[in-house]
Structure 1
Amino acid sequence: MADYQITVAPNGARRQKSDHPKLPITPLELAQTASACQAAGAKVLHLHVRDEAGVHSLDARRYREAMAAVRAAAPGMEIQITTESAGIYPPSAQLACLQALRPQAASIAVREMAQDPAVAARGYALCAENGTEVQHILYGPSCIAQLVAWYAEGVVPVQMRGVIFVLGKYAPATPAQPQELAPFVTAARAMDLNWSLCAFGRDERACLLAAIKAGGNARVGFENNLETPEGALLEDNAAAVAALVKAASEAGHNLKRT
């Protein structure tokens, strides 16, 4: 039996309502989704915001509006913003987002920040100064190696041990498989990381159950997957959370809600 917590990632940077009618885009939709997912067992909301055209945004005003709506609808739910570039924003814009918001928690992609090491150092220092809980996004061995180097060089404070490993890809579509987890688990144990997993494709749940069994936490939601293991569309993000909680409980694992 393992203890674990759930983060829900309800929309991501790219998917639209044409992909699923219940993909939340607006602050109201995000708030309603957060409330339903909190009730289903999610402790943390991984938040992306969009502009009027539905395009991924790092705009601080949009973030503040969405966060206020979520806090009102889901009191006590932790909010983690993303600084993901989505091929749109350079590291300087990602840093500006962190400077403007000074968030409680933020996910930061190592491979994106590595494009500008000086900006990266400023970003991590800012997060340390503000007490922002950083979750490093790690896509593979090169990202892990970069994080190891940054720990050694002092670019990333050694106490920032939170990471999320990513299995599979959005584009080109590459479904995740549970057996791909092993090298990440090895790295997590060697580096003493507090780790989570997200996984693209309909085998998301199987991948997350493998992560929980190995001592990790789970991130579930429409950012990474819209389908049941059988290939049907999930009803909504809360259904994805509830299905994971049920499967993990049946496997003997214990959900941490607080």
Structure 2
Amino acid sequence: MPLAMNREVFITCAVTGGTEIDANNRNVPRSPKEIADAVIEAAKAGAAVAHVHVRDPETGAPSRRNDLYKEVTDRVRQASTDVVLNITAGMGGEMVFGSVEQPLPLTSSTDLCGATERFSHVAECLPEICTLDCGTMNFKVGDLVITNTPATLRAMAKMMTGHGVRPELEVFDTGHLWFAKQLVEEGLLEDPVLVQLCMGIPWGAPNDLNTFLAMANSVPANWTFSAFSIGRDALAYPAAAVLAGGNVRVGLEDNLYVGKGQFASNGQLVKRAVNIVENMGARVIGPKEVREKLKLTKR
């Protein structure tokens, strides 16, 4: 593969994520105010885009309550710091089976709802970007399956396009990228197409460089992509993403540490990514340039 380094790079910060968190780690934001403050911190550190989940303010558990998304959105928009909002639409597809001998009924941890409900907070908040997870996969441990059927994804893609929100196609494996191309071929998504390559998440695409380059090389040349990995490799993946021609994602959704035994803040992770990008000879671009590049509608 010839070197096709990206020299105009935007950074996305995924500030909190949608999985359970360690109760002892108070760096991960929970309340709408904490999440909005984390978005602003990341933007000031150099992130052009903030990827947002919400949590129950009392327990820290992942949530998809519309009122929480609305409060975060309002707080960010009322702040003096500019940033592109990217809200998840991936919640509501969690199916947790019973035992291997008796998979049904599904357990009480299951959180399944229809496409319209999964999109409802996006329709209310109208961020510039929202995520569309482009496939079903076994997720991490136990009997959790994240479900995104072709029919559901087609319906959600239509809703996103109809509301003028740019989908970020989250791709966890090669088949997901194949289906993303199918959505574009069917006219359900409009140019410019934005893809996030999600590496190293069990049990999707492993984060070794051969797999990553196979994924990156399969992204059409006229699409825009970012990439990240999780855990300790998240600190090095900005370099791989830029060298492959992509953009960068960091944040506490993907990695909790800035060094061995040192809990990170979102701002610290963004600053480290900025240093990597700039030391490679590339330039970090801001929200205004990202909006122009991706033809986003600022609200």
TM-score by length of 2: 0.76
Alignment partner of 1:128 out of 146, 149, 161:
161
1:49 aligns to 2:54 (yes or no): yes
The one-character-per-residue Cα deviations of 1:152-175 (angstroms, maximum 9, x if unpaired) are 333x22425111000111x57998
1:164 matches 2:196: yes
Quick check: 1:140 aligned with 2:178?
Answer: no
Query: Which of these residues, 42, 45, 48, is aligned with residue 37 of structure 1?
Result: 42
Matched position secondary structure for 1:202:
helix
Give the fraction of aligned pairs with identical amino acids, expressed as a percent: 22
**1:187 counterpart letter in structure 2:** S
Offset of residue 121 of structure 1? 2.8
CA distance in 1, matches of 2:61, 2:185: 37
Deviating more after overlay: 212-221 vs 83-92: 83-92
Are 1:255 and 2:270 counterparts? no
1:133-187 superposed Cα distances (whole Å, 9 cap, x missing partner): 1101000111011122222333x22425111000111x57998444432012111
CA–CA distance in 1 between the matches of 2:279 and 2:189?
38
Alpha-carbon shift at residue 19 of structure 1 (Å): 5.8
What is the distance in 2 between the residues matched to 1:75 and 1:35?
6
Report the 3-state secondary structure (helix = DSSP H, G, I; strand = E; otherwise coil) of the residue aligned with 1:45. Answer: strand
2:198 maps to amino acid: V
**Structure-2 residue corresponding to 1:197:** 227
Higher Rg? 2
Q: Is the 8 A contact 2:134 2:179 kept in 1?
A: yes
Question: Is the partner of 1:76 in helix, strand or coil?
Answer: coil
Aligned to 2:118: 94
The question of whether the paired residues in 1 share the 8 Å contact of 2:87 and 2:122 is answered with no
Structure 2 regions of 5+ residues with no counterpart? 95-110, 137-146, 288-299
Is 1:218 aligned to 2:242, yes or no? Answer: no
Letter in 2 for 1:16: I
TM-score (norm 1): 0.87
**Contact conserved, 2:205 with 2:211, CA < 8 A, in 1?**
no
- Structure 1 segments unaligned to the other structure (5+ residues): none
Q: Is the 8 A contact 1:46 1:79 kept in 2?
A: yes
1:105 to 129, 145, 148: 129
The answer for the alignment partner of 2:141 in structure 1 is none
Cα-Cα RMSD: 2.4
Describe the superposition over 1:17-66 as per-residue Cα deviations: whole angstroms up to 9, x where unpaired: 52622111111211221222111101111010112432222222110111
Choose the corresponding residue for 1:16, options 21, 25, 28: 21
